[in-house]
Amino acid sequence: MTGAPAATEVNFDGLPGPTHNYSGLAEGNLASERHKSGVSNPRQAALQGLAKMKTLADRGFAQGVLPPHERPDVEALRALGFAGDDAQVLTVAARAAPQLLAACSSAAAMWVANAATVSPSADTADGHVHFTPANLVSHFHRSLEAPTTTRVLRAIFSDAQRFVVHDPLPSVPQLGDEGAANHTRFATAADAPGVELFVYGRAGFDADARTPRRFPARQTREASEAVARRHALAPERTLYAQQHPDAIDAGVFHNDVIAVGNGTVFFCHERALVAQDAVLQTLRDRIGAGFATIIVTEREVSLERAVATYLFNSQLLARPDGGMFLVAPAECRQDAAVSALLDRLIADEGPIREVLTFDLRQSMQNGGGPACLRLRVALTPAERNAIAARIWLDETLHAELVSWVERHYRDRLAPADLADPELVRESRRALDELSQLLRLGSVYPFQQS
């Protein structure tokens, strides 16, 4: 890579969809369970996400946009035996199986940290950027996302000379894959070969392995290993670590709820990983003396408090001065202990030099913070220029997206509203316009019928 143009880490944020609702579908996601059956505000959810994107873009961070998925997924309901036109399918499903209707209406694709695992060209043997869309088999509502995610990624990263978008792994529990939420890349520079840390919750084929008692572990080691093989990563550039079962039982359903890393910095709770000291030493040995850890103890912030505030579900961004910039949810400043910790981190003049919080309450109440909303992709200038889709957020696109949201999104959505046939029509009109606005082509099933 000597002499090559510098790569830049791009944050691709997911737009919350028109059916953003609180159905409490995700077992082990405490916020989702706590707000089940509440009334959501899809318009506010999308505008809050766009406000975060715009602020970071204004500060010079590369920012892309990923679209929502088509919901309700009427074809999924038909596959489950509900017949008739769209209105009949929704009416019967709402009466006979409301949880299936809720699952097929979920806007969880907004959390694009689960969209795929990404390895940049600096890490891969063939010099391509590799994507493996997550199969998300642990929950039915999320398993529906893989086909559309694959189509969207292939529409954006279409240059076969630079990008490889694989098919998702086989959709079986032993190969449960939750995407980048359980994957962190460390490197001395964005265009330098990195070390990719894959975190799993369980061994898919070992029933006797230590697992959580309260909540299911979603990611399997076998899935992580398969992704690494697909991406042609050198063994010395990969590392596998197990999530601590106690953390999963406390509501850490993905590793990005308890740890975040970037560059040569790792910010995590002391109970994030099994054999954590050994994992950190291996990272230090492979990355070099510049590797820095910020370990928060249980005494400073308990696992339960970390989950409640989503302290670690923050974005860790590199500033031009070499320090790190932490993008955290507003809830972190509403908790005295967490807020004091953040102030201390800045005062200590360590790797984290600045903290900025955002109001993402609509997403947070469904269990997704700043890190859930973004997929990180390191791209060289040539790779960025190979993208023809209009997904780079600037003043003009931001204004157009805000106008689009305000025209198409409801400001109130209760679970009972998911049976409204007009919601299907509203969503399809919105997504048809959006796919043209972003120059994605026909990525939705209703556009191909």
Residues in the chain: 449
**Structure pTM?**
0.94
For residue 31, what pLDDT is reported? 57
Cα separation, 436 vs 206, whole angstroms: 47
Greatest pairwise CA separation for the chain in angstroms: 64
Strand partners, 199: 241
178 tagged catalytic = yes
> Which of helix, strand or coil describes residue 404?
helix
Annotated catalytic residue, options 69, 183, 244, 254: 254
Better-scored residue on pLDDT, 324 or 216 = 324
Cα separation, 282 vs 284, whole angstroms: 5
Average pLDDT, the chain: 94
pLDDT band of 215, cuts 50, 70, 90? confident
**Sign of the dihedral through C-alpha 274, 278, 283, 289:** positive
The set of residues, in sequence order, having a beta carbon less than 8 Å from that of 354 and lying 6+ positions away, is 319, 323, 324, 325, 326, 346
For residue 342, what pLDDT is reported? 97
pLDDT surpassing 70 at residue 119: yes
Whose CA is closest to 201, among 173, 237, 238, 171? 173
Sequential DSSP letters for 84-106: SSHHHHHHHHHHH-HHHHHHTT-
Annotated catalytic residue, options 372, 383, 398, 408: 372
Average pLDDT estimate for 388-402 = 98
DSSP3 helix / strand / coil % (the chain, rounded to 5)? 40, 20, 40
Annotated catalytic residue, options 9, 70, 145, 178: 178
pLDDT band of 209, cuts 50, 70, 90? low
Strand partners, 184: 197
Average pLDDT estimate for 295-322 = 95
For residue 2, what pLDDT is reported? 44
Cα separation, 61 vs 190, whole angstroms: 13
254 tagged catalytic = yes
pLDDT surpassing 70 at residue 7: yes
Cα separation, 430 vs 116, whole angstroms: 24
Average pLDDT estimate for 442-449 = 90
pLDDT band of 212, cuts 50, 70, 90? low
Cα–Cα distances (Å) from 206 to 203, 222, 246, in that order, read 5, 10, 19
Window from 117-126, 201-210, 253-262 with minimum mean pLDDT: 201-210
For residue 37, what pLDDT is reported? 65
pLDDT digits (tens, 9 = 90+) for 135-148: 999 999 999 999 99
For residue 1, what pLDDT is reported? 39
pLDDT surpassing 70 at residue 33: no
CB 313 within 8 A of CB 369: yes
For residue 322, what pLDDT is reported? 86
CB 256 within 8 A of CB 248: no
Average pLDDT estimate for 165-174 = 97
Angle between helices 395-408 and 421-437 (to 10 degrees): 170
Whose CA is closest to 195, among 239, 260, 229? 239
For residue 24, what pLDDT is reported? 66
Better-scored residue on pLDDT, 367 or 122 = 122
pLDDT surpassing 70 at residue 207: no
pLDDT band of 6, cuts 50, 70, 90? confident
For residue 320, what pLDDT is reported? 86
pLDDT surpassing 60 at residue 208: no
The set of residues, in sequence order, having a beta carbon less than 8 Å from that of 123 and lying 6+ positions away, is 185, 193, 194, 196, 231, 233, 234, 237
For residue 367, what pLDDT is reported? 84
**Sign of the dihedral through C-alpha 221, 285, 315, 364:** positive
Neighbours of 99 (CB within 10 A): 14
For residue 26, what pLDDT is reported? 60
For residue 164, what pLDDT is reported? 98
